[in-house]
Amino acid sequence: MEFIVNSENEKKRLDVVLCSLMQDRTRAHIKNLIDSGKCLVDGKRVKAGFLLKAGQHVSCEDEEVVLLDAKAEEVDFEIVYQDSDLIVVNKPQGLVVHPCASTKNGTLVNGLLNRISDLSGINGVLRPGIVHRLDKNTSGLMVVAKNDLAHVSLAEQIKNKICKRKYLALLSGHLKDEEGKIETFIDRSRTDRKKMAVSDKGKEAITNYKLVKRFTTCDLVEFSLQTGRTHQIRVHAKELGHPVVGDDVYGKAVKDLNGQLLHSYSLSFIHPATKKEMTFEIDLPEHFKNYIKKLKEI
């Protein structure tokens, strides 16, 4: 991995910046890389607490052996856009993004490896190119990095709220306010570690919402993220008292639905190489449209 330090990371510790970029590596592992001279700043060995300056070149050689490897497989998904730096994909509902303990194959990453020969290596062999994720049963647009420089740029845009992501969701019942902002902290649930929950600690989570259309039993709502926490929209929808239709974790399952009706329909970012703004929009998937067809507008 290599990257040029930008103004956002100036005066930050080297180990802190590397931890934010190499999220599947432990802090101890990253410190060992730095201490052993495998992470260099302008070609020189430094300490883990070294404060970075804008314009410096950071290179990190990580040869950690990973027992579980992602294999190339044929997986069904749409590539919306592709160039030498990145790919924009339309992830279908039900597709897991990367291999994990419960799903070792048949993921988006397996499919990407089958179609793409070059993906960034920042997130290791299990998550090559993956800058951000969508839940298994959330459909829609994702951007994937094809090299480390693009990965660093896109990750920083998400962190600094330059990357804009908009979602459409069908919520149970009716919102009190037609638009608003939800600001909470989100942490692991104290009663179920597989779930997230609004908490008095954890990470800050900010979601904007706006009513699009009312139906007799539910509302179609647009969400835009200012932060990107795990299950953020689903947790905030529950906090509003109107969980996403079909969400069997934060609401209740619905017959004939395979999960929540939540779709990432719009994605905007600055291209890492051209520096031009790019915006992509995708229509609702068929399972979402078919459910809406059964509803009556108010």
The yes-or-no verdict on residue 63 having pLDDT over 70 is no
Place of tokens 């090559």: 128
Instruction: State in Å, rounded, how far the first CA of the chain is from the last one.
Output: 54
Superfamily of domain 78-162+270-281: Pseudouridine synthase (3.30.2350.10)
Contact between 141 and 264 under an 8 Å Cβ cutoff? The reply is yes
Contact between 219 and 174 under an 8 Å Cβ cutoff? The reply is yes
**CB within 8 Å of 130: residues ≥ 6 apart:** 97, 98, 109, 123, 144
pLDDT grade for 67, boundaries at 50, 70 and 90 = very low
Contact between 186 and 202 under an 8 Å Cβ cutoff? The reply is yes
Domain range 2-60, CATH architecture: Roll (3.10)
Out of 3.30.2350.10, 2.40.400.10, 3.40.50.1820, 3.30.70.141, which CATH number does the structure's domain 165-264+289-293 have?
A: 3.30.2350.10
Q: Return d(Cα 81, Cα 89) in angstroms, integer.
A: 7
Maximum distance among all Cα pairs of the chain, rounded to whole angstroms = 66
Q: Return d(Cα 3, Cα 64) in angstroms, integer.
A: 20
For the chain, what percent of residues have pLDDT higher than 70?
A: 93
Q: Return d(Cα 297, Cα 251) in angstroms, integer.
A: 22
pLDDT in tens, 29-52: 788 889 888 899 998 999 999 999
Residue type, 132: H
**Tokens linked to 31:** 């410190």
For the chain, what percent of residues have pLDDT higher than 90?
A: 66
Residue intervals in the chain for CATH 3.30.2350.10: 78-162+270-281, 165-264+289-293
Adjacent-strand bridge partners of 130: 144
Residue intervals in the chain for CATH 3.10.290.10: 2-60
Q: What DSSP character marks residue 243? A: P
pLDDT in tens, 146-169: 988 888 899 889 888 899 999 999
pTM of the entire predicted model: 0.77
Contact between 152 and 211 under an 8 Å Cβ cutoff? The reply is no
Q: Name which of 282, 280, 261, 259 is nearest 271 in CA terms.
A: 280
**Tokens linked to 15:** 């180990």
Query: What are the residue numbers of the active site?
Result: 135
